[in-house]
């Protein structure tokens, strides 16, 4: 019988290593993905935003239930926590996304950069697949990849991410039994990398500590992302970012003409990149 523990890769692993294990198990843990100085800086940047957070209020009760009424989430990280830019363009996350999503399109875009601070007393989310955000898309390949990086040491009691290893290969309606789900305990800086077709959920926080993590997701370039990066990131900020970050935030014309598709994301019938020069 296969072990239910997700495989753990060392800090110097490559995007190909991640792709290979995720192909087999649906997800994989990368130890020490975020270095201690980067982690320190990112945590300092988000602290004031968490302190002034007013609670979950997305405008929909069902959405608030899913996001977690005792959970604080922060988007717009490029502006609020500029260290996020280095995380978003890290070779491993981009390489993982490009390889997994290559069969469904020629380019990728940021789906979300989201701090998820699960507070004590929060209940577990339902197990879900991130790909189901686009349930009308009738494709079998994953449409996105996601990462959950630990910003503090995360234990199962604090609401560690729950994953059903191998569920990317299951029939869509199969419900995982309790013994098919693992809680990913993660030391600060380590991260869970997983495909959009893998069942997972934020866990219940039964501890007295905050479960603080960063979700960075990337989807294929023709989708409407979960986070609206255009409204969350003023163009003056985008102008001074590295090219890769600008592209991930949507400042590139989507061009699938070589594979029989079309063009998406024009600005005034031109490449939005031109706005940045």
Ligand X SMILES: O=C(O)CCC(=O)C(=O)O
250 binds ligand X, rule: CB under 6 A: no
CB of residue 148 to ligand X, shortest distance in Å? 5
Residues 111-150 that bind ligand X (CB under 6 A): 116, 125, 148
Residue nearest to ligand X (CB): 202
When the beta carbons of 135 and 277 are compared against ligand X, the nearer one is 135
When the beta carbons of 213 and 238 are compared against ligand X, the nearer one is 213
| CA distance linking residue 171 with residue 173, whole number of Å | 6
When the beta carbons of 184 and 241 are compared against ligand X, the nearer one is 184
Q: Hey, which residues does 163 pair with through a beta bridge?
A: 182, 200
Instruction: Report the residue from 201, 218, 220, 238 that binds ligand X according to the rule CB under 6 A.
Output: 201
> What distance lies between CA 42 and its chain's CA centroid?
16
Between 10 and 39, how does the x/- string for binding to ligand X read (CB under 6 A)? ------------------------------
- The stretch near ligand X (CB under 6 A) out of 74-82, 200-208, 233-241, 260-268 is 200-208
CB of residue 200 to ligand X, shortest distance in Å? 6
| CA distance linking residue 11 with residue 44, whole number of Å | 23
Instruction: Report the residue from 72, 168, 200, 210 that binds ligand X according to the rule CB under 6 A.
Output: 200
When the beta carbons of 125 and 246 are compared against ligand X, the nearer one is 125
213 binds ligand X, rule: CB under 6 A: yes
CB of residue 71 to ligand X, shortest distance in Å? 8
When the beta carbons of 27 and 272 are compared against ligand X, the nearer one is 27
Instruction: Report the residue from 107, 161, 190, 198 that binds ligand X according to the rule CB under 6 A.
Output: 161
Longest dimension (CA), the chain: 57
CB of residue 86 to ligand X, shortest distance in Å? 21
CB of residue 184 to ligand X, shortest distance in Å? 8
> What distance lies between CA 168 and its chain's CA centroid?
16
- The stretch near ligand X (CB under 6 A) out of 1-9, 175-183, 194-202, 245-253 is 194-202
Task: Give me the residues that bind ligand X (CB under 6 A), please.
Answer: 116, 125, 148, 161, 200-202, 213
């Amino acid at each position: 019988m296969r072990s239910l523990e997700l495989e753990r890769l060392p800090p110097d692993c490559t995007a190909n290593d991640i792709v290979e294990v995720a192909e087999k198990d649906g997800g994989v843990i990368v130890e020490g993905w975020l270095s201690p100085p980067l982690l320190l800086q990112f945590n300092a940047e988000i602290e004031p935003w968490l302190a002034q957070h007013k609670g979950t209020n997305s405008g929909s009760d069902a959405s608030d239930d899913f996001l977690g009424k005792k959970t604080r989430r922060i988007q717009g990280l490029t502006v609020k926590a500029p260290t996020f830019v280095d995380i978003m363009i890290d070779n491993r996350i981009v390489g993982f996304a490009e390889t997994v999503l290559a069969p469904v399109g020629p380019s990728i875009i940021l789906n979300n950069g989201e701090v998820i601070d699960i507070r004590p007393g929060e209940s577990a989310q339902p197990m879900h697949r991130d790909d189901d955000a686009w349930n009308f898309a009738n494709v079998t390949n994953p449409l996105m990849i996601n990462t959950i990086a630990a910003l503090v040491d995360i234990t199962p009691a604090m609401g560690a991410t729950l994953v059903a290893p191998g569920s990317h290969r299951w029939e869509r309606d199969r419900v995982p039994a309790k013994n098919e789900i693992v809680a990913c305990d993660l030391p600060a800086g380590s991260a869970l990398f997983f495909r959009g077709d893998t069942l997972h959920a934020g866990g219940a926080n039964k501890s007295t500590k905050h479960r603080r993590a960063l979700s960075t997701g990337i989807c294929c370039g023709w989708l409407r992302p979960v986070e609206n990066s255009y409204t969350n990131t003023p163009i003056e900020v985008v102008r001074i970012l590295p090219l890769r970050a600008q592209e991930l935030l949507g400042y590139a014309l989507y061009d699938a003409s070589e594979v029989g598709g079309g063009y998406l994301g024009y600005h005034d019938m031109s490449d939005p990149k031109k706005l940045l020069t």
